[in-house]
Amino acid sequence: MTNIRKVAELAGVSVATVSRALKTPDVVSPGTRDKVLAAVEQADYRPNLTAVQFRSQRTRNLVVLVPTIANTFFARVIGGIQEAAQRRGYGILLCNTLGDERTERAYAGLVSTRQADGLIQLRAHDPFTTSSGQARPPMVNACEVLDAAPCPTVKLDNRAAARSVTEHLLALGHCRIGMIKGPRNSPLTRDRLLGFQDALAVAGLLPDESLVFPGDFTPSSGYRAAGDLLSRADPPTAIFCENDEMAMGAMRRIKEAGLRIPEDISVAGFDDIAFASFCDPPLTTIAQPAEDFGREAVALLLDIIDDRDDAADEHRIMPFELVTRESTGPAA
């Protein structure tokens, strides 16, 4: 391994000069700089990054905790994170936590032990064990966000978005609307449910708990929940699913029951994943700027890391858009 000393020797200068020629070229004379660069070239020298990181206490790595990478929406968010991080010279250490707290804490430890400069959490959970008194490591909470997050956040106004979907269904004349929600205890699910109920209330409808079934954001959970909804004596004329994956599962189940979408029953989703416009019929849903969630989270995190302190308590709300396609139609 060629190190800085070999290069210094080769160039006939001191190690300090080599370091400076590479990091702050403007403080060395042009002549020496050229000598050093030539020596670097000749020796095929590349600084040992672990040494640089160790000495400078900066790794230029960010930890990303994602509940499940198999979810198309999260995959897009990660794409945005990675792109933004890379552009700023940061790498990302990805952890697919599957919602496991121990795993999350272990990876969060990478920040405490200086193997990463900060952390982006895409789940509504604080992975840092509240070490008494000490400063919190840099963190941003995005997508599924804690109510009282101890850090900047990037989220959607889930309540307003769910309300707009529901209003769309109400406008089509539906008044018995089923809902397939996400896991319990999730602020995101709670907000979407609230938005759903807001719209019903404005329309003068009473919320009916028996029309709400929980899922886990996978197609098969949507499939199961739709089965439950259809087996009612008075099945709903429309179903609002908290994400597109569950909506696709629900649509499958509805078709297997011999019902037509949207003639017999309307279906709406949430996220606008790539498949939403390709399923049959194309899915009415809420479009979110997934990649931007990631980019924004990185921007906020780097603001904290470089302590541009004004950013320490920012809470960004990302825009959404109701995309109406053929999966929703007038009530029968």
Q: Which residues bind DNA (CB under 7 A)?
A: 1, 3-5, 12-17, 19-20, 22-23, 27-29, 31-32, 45, 47-48, 51-52, 54-56
Size of residue set near a copy of itself by CB under 8 A: 54
Residues 306-321, buried b or exposed e (16+ Cβ, 10 A)?
eeeeebeebebebebe
Round to whole Å and give the CA distance between 67 and 245: 15
Using the minimum distance from each CB to a copy of itself, give the nearer residue, 248 or 300. Answer: 248
- When asked if residue 219 is in the footprint of a copy of itself (CB under 8 A), the reply is yes
Using the minimum distance from each CB to a copy of itself, give the nearer residue, 16 or 106. Answer: 106
- When asked if residue 83 is in the footprint of a copy of itself (CB under 8 A), the reply is yes
Round to whole Å and give the CA distance between 192 and 302: 30
Question: Which of 286, 332, 330 is CA-nearest to residue 170?
Answer: 330
Using the minimum distance from each CB to DNA, give the nearer residue, 32 or 68. Answer: 32
Q: How far is CA 295 from CA 67, 83, 292, in A?
A: 18, 7, 5
- When asked if residue 229 is in the footprint of a copy of itself (CB under 8 A), the reply is no
Minimum distance of a copy of itself from residue 324's CB (angstroms): 17
- When asked if residue 302 is in the footprint of a copy of itself (CB under 8 A), the reply is no
How deeply is 28 buried, as exposed, middle or buried, from its count of CB atoms within 10 A (0-12, 13-18, 19+)? buried
DSSP state of 280: S
Q: How far is CA 80 from CA 89, 241, 293, 294, in A?
A: 14, 25, 7, 5
Round to whole Å and give the CA distance between 287 and 200: 22
Amino acid 65 reads L
In this structure, the strands spanning 285-287 and 266-268 are unpaired
Q: Which helix (H) or strand (E) holds 141?
A: strand 139-142
- Which stretch, 73-81, 135-143, 159-167, 194-202, contacts a copy of itself (CB under 8 A)? 73-81
- When asked if residue 82 is in the footprint of a copy of itself (CB under 8 A), the reply is yes
Phi then psi dihedrals of residue 140, to 5 deg: -130, 140
- Give the residue, chosen from 20, 35, 76, 155, that forms a contact with a copy of itself under the rule CB under 8 A: 76
Is 229 in contact with 236 (CB distance < 8 Å)? yes
Is 96 in contact with 69 (CB distance < 8 Å)? yes
Partner whose footprint covers residue 28, from a copy of itself, DNA, none (CB < 5 to 8 Å by kind): DNA
Partner whose footprint covers residue 44, from a copy of itself, DNA, none (CB < 5 to 8 Å by kind): a copy of itself
Using the minimum distance from each CB to a copy of itself, give the nearer residue, 3 or 164. Answer: 3
Phi then psi dihedrals of residue 109, to 5 deg: -60, -25
- When asked if residue 288 is in the footprint of a copy of itself (CB under 8 A), the reply is no
- Give the residue, chosen from 39, 95, 149, 165, that forms a contact with a copy of itself under the rule CB under 8 A: 95
Round to whole Å and give the CA distance between 249 and 229: 13
Partner whose footprint covers residue 279, from DNA, a copy of itself, none (CB < 5 to 8 Å by kind): a copy of itself
- Which stretch, 44-52, 195-203, 205-213, 301-309, contacts a copy of itself (CB under 8 A)? 44-52
Using the minimum distance from each CB to a copy of itself, give the nearer residue, 79 or 187. Answer: 79
Minimum distance of DNA from residue 57's CB (angstroms): 7
Under the rule (CB under 8 A), what is the footprint of a copy of itself?
44, 46-51, 53-54, 57, 59, 61, 68-70, 72, 75-76, 78-79, 82-83, 86, 91-96, 103, 107, 109-110, 112-115, 131, 218-219, 223, 245, 248-249, 251-252, 255, 274-275, 277-280, 282
